[in-house]
């Protein structure tokens, strides 16, 4: 289907507010209602407009924690890529799936709290009876706090927990540890002599002159 300027104006208006009535839409794009409705139906039939969706505030809906997951596949051709995309996009916890270049082949946007809720809620002994419990668990696990008050019972839930733990280590724990070690080393390097002329402290251990007044520093014993 070849789109003209009026078609594009209709698409822009509907992306901004899909709840516009046909009369309101026609008025916004400068058409009469009948040809406007005909254009919208043609766009729908051609698959240009695939549906109309509600945009949620995920934090208010109890779906606060969203992560992006990179996936690498073994086979790289259109058939396998389309099959993978079709499989994951039907999962309720996957918001979007994108083909990317680099180390990963796909980038998934996943709502973690909802994911664990969907997995564990079928288990009658599950502690994840609400989505808010799932979001709380995801935040606690991702930040590597791990209170242990909510524990997955299913094998798939434990697999997800392992993935979230690894993500937490990579995003929070490891960088924090590296920064701490770097800070300690920096402080150790600055435990040098004190200047007898101006009283300046914190020189490097190998410093020979004061970095404030330039006076010679006393030799270390």
Per-residue confidence (pLDDT) for residue 14, from 0 to 100: 93
CATH number, residue 92: 1.10.287
For the beta sheet containing 66-71, the strands, ordered from the edge strand earlier in sequence to the opposite edge, are 66-71, 106-111, 94-99
**The pLDDT of residue 210 is above 80:** yes
Which residue has better confidence, 53 or 186?
Answer: 53
Query: What average pLDDT does range 204-216 have in this prediction?
Result: 81
Report yes or no on 184 lying in a domain: no
Report yes or no on 121 lying in a domain: yes
Report yes or no on 220 lying in a domain: yes
Residues 71 and 146 in one domain: yes
Torsion angles phi and psi, residue 165, rounded to 5: -60, -45
Per-residue confidence (pLDDT) for residue 57, from 0 to 100: 73
Q: What is the DSSP string of 150-199?
A: S---SHHHHHHHHHHHHHHIIIIIHHHHHHHHHHHHHHHHT--PPPTTT-
Residues 76 and 30 in one domain: no
Residues 86 and 140 in one domain: yes
Report yes or no on 74 lying in a domain: yes
Per-residue confidence (pLDDT) for residue 29, from 0 to 100: 93
Per-residue confidence (pLDDT) for residue 98, from 0 to 100: 82
By residue range, what is the domain housing residue 93?
66-167
Per-residue confidence (pLDDT) for residue 20, from 0 to 100: 92
Per-residue confidence (pLDDT) for residue 19, from 0 to 100: 92
First-to-last alpha carbon distance for the chain, in angstroms, is 85
Residues 197 and 144 in one domain: no
Helices 131-142 and 112-120 sit at what angle, rounded to 10 degrees?
120
């Amino acid at each position: 289907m070849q789109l003209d300027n009026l078609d594009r104006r209709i698409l822009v208006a509907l992306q901004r507010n899909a709840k516009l009535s046909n009369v309101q839409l026609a008025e916004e794009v400068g058409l009469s209602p009948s040809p406007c409705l005909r254009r919208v139906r043609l766009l729908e039939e051609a698959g240009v407009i695939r549906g109309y969706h509600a945009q949620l505030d995920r934090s208010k809906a109890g779906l606060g924690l969203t992560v992006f997951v990179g996936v690498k596949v073994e086979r790289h051709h259109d058939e396998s890529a389309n099959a993978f995309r079709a499989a994951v996009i039907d999962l309720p916890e996957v918001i979007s799936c994108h083909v990317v270049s680099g180390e990963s082949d796909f980038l998934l946007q996943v709502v973690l709290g909802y994911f664990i809720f969907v997995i564990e809620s079928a288990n009658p002994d599950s502690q994840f009876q609400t989505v808010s419990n799932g979001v709380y668990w995801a935040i606690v696990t991702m930040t590597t706090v791990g209170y242990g008050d909510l524990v997955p019972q299913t094998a798939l839930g434990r697999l997800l927990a392992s993935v979230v733990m690894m993500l937490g280590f990579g995003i929070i724990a490891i960088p924090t540890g590296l920064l701490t070690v770097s800070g300690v080393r920096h402080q150790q390097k600055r435990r040098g002599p004190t200047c007898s002329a101006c009283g300046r402290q914190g020189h490097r251990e190998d410093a020979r002159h004061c970095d404030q007044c330039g006076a010679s520093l006393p030799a270390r014993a």
